[in-house]
Amino acid sequence: MATDELSSKLNRRLKIEEGGEEPVAVDEDHQNGSGEQEKHEKPNTANADSELGAKLQRRGEMNDGVGDHHQPSMKVFNPYTEFKEFSRKQIKDMEKMFKQYDSEKDNFIDLMELKLMMEKLGAPQTHLGLKNMIKEVDEDLDGKLSFREFLLIFRKSAAGELAEDSGLHVLARLSEIDVSTEGVKGAKTFFEAKVQAINESNRFEAEIRQEQEDKKKEQEDKKQRQAAFKNLQSAFK
């Protein structure tokens, strides 16, 4: 609308200059009002254009994979299936240690939490040493350790992939978690691997049964303690 009006004025100005049209007196108040209207319309048009341009740019970045609009990953990490070389007890011990030093409870161990861990283990590290420890297993390059990356430390330790003088080797050695047992990857032949795979599966099932029995025993002990307490209460009534 503002563009059409401006175009009309320009056409009139050209006709007046060429002598094709007489100049028309314009009421000052009307002219001022029209000017004010133009002042309001121009910023509104500019804002609309800039907003539309920004939206189109964002849409283009998303289409090119540059923008921040990404579908969340649906992959679920299962330590028992991915780290089959470790028993359930070993993984639970590692998880307990991980949660112990995850002071912010955000499911990550950052540089300061790793610093505290190494100090508690009696092997304090320099700032650069701590950064190198994280870097060695930091697969997603976020500068901190997830539980999966924490488990990678013990996998590398069990496979002998850590240097003797590295901070991660010291962490694995001082953690008091025994990871010396070999899994399926230690088998030399296909048949040995099959046997070990069966043994791993049987061991996994046995550990689950043992956990269930332990929980059942704890519940029975709790019931017995509650019954004994009630008997003791009734004796004093």
pLDDT in tens, 73-84: 456 889 999 999
Q: Pick from 132, 151, 174: which residue ends a domain?
A: 174
pLDDT for 83 equals: 94
Instruction: Please check whether residues 115 and 159 belong to one and the same domain.
Output: yes
Give the highest mean pLDDT range of 137-146, 198-207, 219-228.
Answer: 137-146
- Least confident among 92-106, 130-144, 174-188: 174-188
- According to DSSP H, which parts of the chain are helical? 2-17, 28-64, 79-82, 88-101, 111-120, 127-137, 147-158, 167-174, 190-235
In a domain, 7, yes or no: no
In the chain, pLDDT over 90 holds for what percent of residues? Answer: 40
Instruction: Please check whether residues 152 and 214 belong to one and the same domain.
Output: no
Q: Pick from 174, 192, 217: which residue ends a domain?
A: 174
In sequence order, which residues have a C-beta less than 8 Å from that of residue 172 and are 6 or more positions away?
153, 154, 156, 157, 162, 179
Task: Quick: pLDDT tens for 18-33.
Answer: 665 555 554 544 445 4
Q: Which residue would you say has higher pLDDT here, 220 or 7?
A: 220
Phi, psi dihedrals of residue 160, rounded to the nearest 5°: 70, 30
Structure-token pair, residue 231: 């008997």
Among residues 137, 164, 169, the alpha carbon closest in space to that of 152 is found at 137
In a domain, 219, yes or no: yes
Task: Quick: pLDDT tens for 137-173.
Answer: 999 999 999 999 999 999 999 999 999 899 999 999 9
Among residues 191, 158, 16, the alpha carbon closest in space to that of 90 is found at 158
Please state, rounded to an integer, the average pLDDT across all residues of the chain: 75
In the DSSP assignment, the letter for residue 182 is: -
pLDDT class of 54 with cuts at 50, 70, 90: low
Instruction: Please check whether residues 121 and 158 belong to one and the same domain.
Output: yes
| Total of domains in the chain | 2
Instruction: Please check whether residues 189 and 227 belong to one and the same domain.
Output: yes
Structure pTM?
Answer: 0.49
In a domain, 162, yes or no: yes
Q: Which residue would you say has higher pLDDT here, 137 or 2?
A: 137
Has residue 206 got a pLDDT over 80? no
In a domain, 16, yes or no: no
In a domain, 85, yes or no: yes
Instruction: Please check whether residues 213 and 164 belong to one and the same domain.
Output: no
Please state, as a whole number, how many other Cβ atoms lie within 10 Å of the Cβ of residue 90.
19
User: What CATH number has the domain bearing residue 92?
Assistant: 1.10.238.10
In a domain, 155, yes or no: yes
**Domain of 227?**
184-236
Average pLDDT, integer, range 199-223: 74
